[in-house]
Chains A and B, each alone.
Chain A
Amino acid sequence: MRVPPGQTAMRAIKLTIPLLLALLFGLFGFGIHYVPHPWASDTKEFISLWVRVIGGIAWILGAYGLIHLHTGRIQKKQSGWGYSVFFFIGLALMAGTAFYNDARWFWNAQAQGGVYNYLNNALFVSTGATMFSLLGFFIPSAAVRTFRARSFEATLLLITAAVVMLGMVPLGQMVSGYLPGAAEWIMLVPNTAAKRAIMLGVSLGVIATSLRLIFGLERSYLGGGE
């Protein structure tokens, strides 16, 4: 059965040409590292600027996604929709004060030390610092309940953790002069060995994925649809 010419042309425009572009620019991006001519340096700067501008504008998609999520919750009156109102309060506070810009508005340079900075220090910095500090309670609680020396490997993990935790604080230095040295050796030798091996494996995977992206075997970045 023959495919109508229009459909083939549309498929080429929607899929084939973007894949070809990815291949071309991928090979170009790889090859430009090996060109010593000054032209390569200028071109890298030029294309990097384009990538930055496109990426900087495309970032708006992320903001749209978050706003769309919370708007949907409020519109459909989903469970907990009231909390989404707080999201918009926070967004309006920061974005509103920033764009109002102490009466200079957003088309002028940002005012220093204005209402925006005040709210940033009063609300955002405090809340941000507190969010992750909750883990400071949960980690000891979890460690006490779950860290059990059930096997040789688990015992080794516990002993290493104890040596590192004591070796890293001044109290450990006061308890024994060996603890800081042991902690340092653990970080420099066995820890480095394991993490290096993991990094080598991960890097090989990243390179393989990059090649798959360039040669069109990995197409998830194109989004859904035909």
Chain B
Amino acid sequence: MQVRWTDPRLVFPLVAAAIVFALLFPVRQPIKPQQAVVQVYDYIERLPKGSAVMLAVDYDPQAKAELVPMTTAVLRHCLRKDLRVIGMTFWPQGTALGQSIFTAVAQEPQFRHKKAGSDYVYLGYKPGDMAQVITNMGENLPNTFRQDYQNRPTTAMPIFQDVKSLKDVDYLLDLAAGNTPETWVQFGGDKYSVPMAVGCTAVMGPDMYVRLTARQINGLIAGLRGAADYEVLLDRPELGVAGMFAQSIIHVMIIVLVVVGNVAFLATRRRRAREGERHG
């Protein structure tokens, strides 16, 4: 049985071995945060105490590797700055995940004094056409979500005393694994003039740069690297930073394998051309 060096049965164990090695023997690397991430951090840093920030946790467990670290970091930052955080989601399968992140961060020792309904609230999920839900939120937010995820009525909550619609939200961050940022920008950010930023999976990063350069969003946290950058800015390295060495190793490995493959390909092509000349 002939096994070529590009055989998946060789590449798969190589990939696994590289990641295991990098996780077991990590090397600390300096991380210089990207400008797009710094823009989000700086904006939240400058928000006055008590400002309302909306976190749209628009992803499900399939994207948790990249988005849970950045959600956790942003939520910690907002609570540390004594901002009021309103969470919600357009992804039904991520509803419980969003709630678990809010609960986990709120239970940290430095945030134990924060009260649900006053300092933060997780509204859960609303079905239907996303554009219509955002429009509803833009006109009347407590009416759109009459109850929060834990079935507490929202109309009486202190957090909604002066936040009646999206227009009253001071910053909107869509943490997304799908194309929800496109709809948020069209029907939320641009329509109601809400300053917004996006945190997304790395797959969507290249598309979000278009919105960034058009100033429809004022910052972008893309992928695990973005999460690591935010953790560095918060001075609290966790899952994002922990994965960076493994990420570096695997990227270098892929580039080396592709280069070796191309060198072999070019050598073979040249040899065949010479043989062709000799016979022809």
Contacts and interface: CB of A to CB of B under 8 A. Distances in A.
A and B touch in their complex, CB below 8 angstroms: yes
A171 to B, nearest CB: 4
B248 A169 contact: yes
Given A132-B63, A174-B29, A191-B206, A144 B11 contact: yes
Interface in A27-63: 41-42, 44-45, 47-49, 51-56, 59
What is the predominant secondary structure among interface residues of chain A facing chain B? Answer: helix
Q: How large is the interface on B (under 10, 10 to 19, 20 to 34, 35 or more residues)?
A: 35 or more
Interface in A130-150: 131-133, 136-141, 143-145, 147-149
Given A55-B129, A56-B128, A120-B96, A140 B210 contact: no
Contact of B254 (A49, A109, A143, A148): A143
A211 interface: no
B112 interface: no
A140 B15 contact: yes
Contacts of B248: 169-172
B214 to A, nearest CB: 8
Contacts of B96: 117, 120
Given A129-B61, A137-B12, A187-B209, A51 B151 contact: no
Given A53-B128, A109-B150, A128-B61, A44 B139 contact: yes
Nearest to B249: A171
Interface stretch (B41-49, B50-58, B259-267): B259-267
B257 interface: yes
Contacts of A55: 127-129, 132
A120 B99 CA distance: 12
A10 interface: no
B140 interface: yes
Q: How large is the interface on A (under 10, 10 to 19, 20 to 34, 35 or more residues)?
A: 35 or more
A179 to B, nearest CB: 11
Interface in B134-176: 135-136, 139-140, 143, 150-151
A196 to B, nearest CB: 5
B11 to A, nearest CB: 4
Interface string B90-126: 0001001100100000000000000000000000001
B206 A52 contact: no
A169 B247 contact: yes
A192 interface: yes
A187 B136 CA distance: 35
B207 A195 contact: yes
16 contacts: A48-B133, A53-B128, A56-B127, A59-B127, A112-B150, A129-B61, A132-B62, A139-B254, A144-B6, A166-B252, A168-B251, A170-B32, A171-B245, A173-B31, A191-B206, A192-B209
Closest 5 CB pairs of A and B: A52-B128, A128-B61, A171-B248, A109-B151, A170-B29
Interface of B: 6, 8, 11-12, 15-16, 29-32, 34-35, 60-65, 93, 96-97, 100, 126-129, 132-133, 135-136, 139-140, 143, 150-151, 205-207, 209-210, 213-214, 223, 225, 244-245, 247-255, 257-259, 261-262, 265-266
Interface of A: 41-42, 44-45, 47-49, 51-56, 59, 109-110, 112, 117, 120-121, 124-126, 128-129, 131-133, 136-141, 143-145, 147-149, 158, 162, 165-166, 168-174, 180, 184, 187-188, 191-192, 195-196, 199
